[in-house]
Structures are given as structure tokens and as C-alpha cells.
Amino acid sequence: MISTNNFHTGLTIEIEEGICTVLEFLHVKPGKGSAFVRSKLRNIETGAVFEKTFRAGEKVKKAHLEDRPMQFLYSSDDQYFFMDQESFEQMAFDVKDLGEDIIKFLTENTVVTMKFYEGRPVTVEMPTFVVLEVVKTDPGLRGNTATGGSKPAQTESGATVQVPLFIEEGDRIKVDTRSGEYIERSS
């Protein structure tokens, strides 16, 4: 159990709404009445963000999540197969369980961090940056590269990323998985 007075960003708690991560919190001590903690939480399983108010000093159950490195092996139909890096056990996940924002950056052999709660997977964390090959983009016209424009490029994973005009098909690019933005050309 943990007191609401000890909330911090990133803390994972278990409440009636489910397993949630604290995104923001604010201790409020009004002139009249008792103090309280206003918090913004994200449900780990559904991704829903909501606000909840707790009494100051109220006890909530701390959720202990286990992080395991999992390697993406392949996909078949709507199933995505991962291998535990420690036990070499394989697990299959549906598209709806992973989410579109994860799938669009997955390529074979990508190692992700899977969070488990009481032995069952609850969320997947992609690496902050991934290197992807550009498979389709319009050619940049000579002389246009100095203007700093951008164009859409489709990557090997299926994600569409806005890239500078000098990027060509076959180039490898570094992409931020949190925002989907181009970072730099990679070797």
C-alpha cells in the first residue's frame, strides 16, 4: 500500500478503475476542509486517461509490474509473435492487444519491453527510436533539398513518416516511436 501523499509521476497503482499509471498529481490544501490530491491517471490496459481525486493520506494498492525484454519474431494474419529473451518462450498477441501505434513501427527482431502484471502481459513499450528502411517515396528534385521541405515516405514496417526531400528509397532512417517523427538518416 502507498499513501496518496507519496504519489509521483510514473507510479503504477491498482484502483477500482484498473491498473493505472500516475501522469500528473497536485496536492491541494484549501482554506476550508481537508486536503486532497488531484491526479491524472492512464489505465494501462485500455489506454484511457482520466482524472481522479483522492483524500490526502488515503492508501491505495501499489501495482508491481515486471518488465521483460521480448523480441518480435513475425506476424501471421492478425497475430504477432514474440519471444521472451530470457526463457525463449513464444507468445502470440492480437492486433487489438498491441495497438496500431506499436504495430506501425515493428520489424522482425525488434526488442520491446513487455510489462507483466500477475503473470499476464498488460502493455508493450517500444524502444524510443527505431531504424527503418524507406521502401516508397517520391524522388526529391535537384535543388529543392536546400529549401527544407518534406515529403511522405513509407517504411518497411508500413508507417508513413514525413522526411526531408533528400531521402530516397532504400535509405535507412531513424524514427521517434513516441511521435512518429523523422530524426536523422542512419547508416
Per-residue pLDDT reduced to its tens digit, 103-122? 888 889 999 998 888 888 88
- Two domains, one topology: 2-62 and 129-186: no
Concatenated DSSP letters for 108-134? TT-EEEEEEETTEEEEEE--SEEEEEE
Going by C-alpha positions, the residue among 116, 28, 114, 22 that lies closest to residue 62 is 22
| In the predicted structure, residue 83 carries a pLDDT above the cut 90 | yes
| In the predicted structure, residue 37 carries a pLDDT above the cut 60 | yes
* pTM of the model as a whole: 0.70
pLDDT of residue 121: 83
Residue 145's pLDDT band (cuts 50, 70, 90): low
User: What dihedral angle (degrees, nearest 10) is formed by the CA atoms of 141, 145, 149, 152?
Assistant: 60
pLDDT of residue 155: 92
CATH classification number, 129-186, choose in 3.40.50.970, 3.90.1570.10, 2.40.50.140, 3.40.1500.10: 2.40.50.140
Query: Whole-number mean pLDDT of the chain?
Result: 87
Q: Do 71 and 109 contact (CB within 8 A), yes or no?
A: yes
Cell output for 53 = 481525486
The CATH code that applies to domain 2-62 is 2.30.30.30
Cell output for 7 = 504519489
Domain 66-125: CATH superfamily, name plus number? Nucleic acid-binding proteins (2.40.50.140)
Q: Do 183 and 161 contact (CB within 8 A), yes or no?
A: no
Domain limits of the chain? 2-62, 66-125, 129-186
